[in-house]
Chain A
């Protein structure tokens, strides 16, 4: 018997060397998102359709602002890696590279824009 966990033993193996890390990231971010999304849907759903002052007031409060920040941050990181898996499954060569670059750029742009906007409202 080896005194090492199953995940530790798989880390760094496979052709890409990062598959285990990638998979583990999806599990952790996915479980985190279950709680975040639940809170975000309630907060955002209530805010959508109300006036500008009400929206600014809502996201000036710490809890709604932090939930929105974390949902955008973790959500886009989860999307970036999830979409990467799909692209790597269905496309090859230059198409695959172009799609990966596009996905990563879009993910970080949406993440940055969202974080900036919520911080701008909150502070």
Chain B
């Protein structure tokens, strides 16, 4: 009867019982942005496939990617990409055992938010 209560044990408190903090919210957004980037990945691969196929297929894919909705998806994806990149670098810093003091961790969170906004603007200007 060792497995009597398996899977029906009380759970430890999770996200819903904590007040949102800069550290937790920026961490959750790392996951959201990472998963959301699949949309841009599929669109870009479709664009490459169309370019490989020929001018007519390319015109169709290019039209979608450069339409206002394509622009919106690409701009949001660029932000998601920079956010995920900066937040990922933050995780690597934490994995090295550095920057874990509360003040530093919170500052790193703000740096991720500010940095991703700045890099997105830069990308729009440069590209």
- Residue numbers of A with Cβ under 8 A of B are 27, 30-31, 33-34, 37, 41-42, 44-46, 48-49, 52, 55-56, 59, 68, 72, 75-76, 79, 82-83, 86, 106, 110, 113-114, 116-118, 120-121
Contact = CB atoms under 8 A, between A and B. Distances in A.
Given A34-B85, A117-B48, A79 B37 contact: yes
A30 B87 CA distance: 11
B66 A48 contact: yes
A116 B71 CA distance: 25
Interface of B: 31, 34-35, 37-38, 41-42, 44-49, 51-52, 54-55, 58-59, 62, 65-66, 74, 78, 81, 85, 88-89, 91-92, 95, 123, 126-127
Nearest to B58: A52
14 contacts: A33-B88, A48-B74, A52-B55, A68-B48, A79-B37, A82-B34, A83-B35, A86-B31, A113-B46, A114-B44, A117-B45, A120-B52, A121-B48, A121-B51
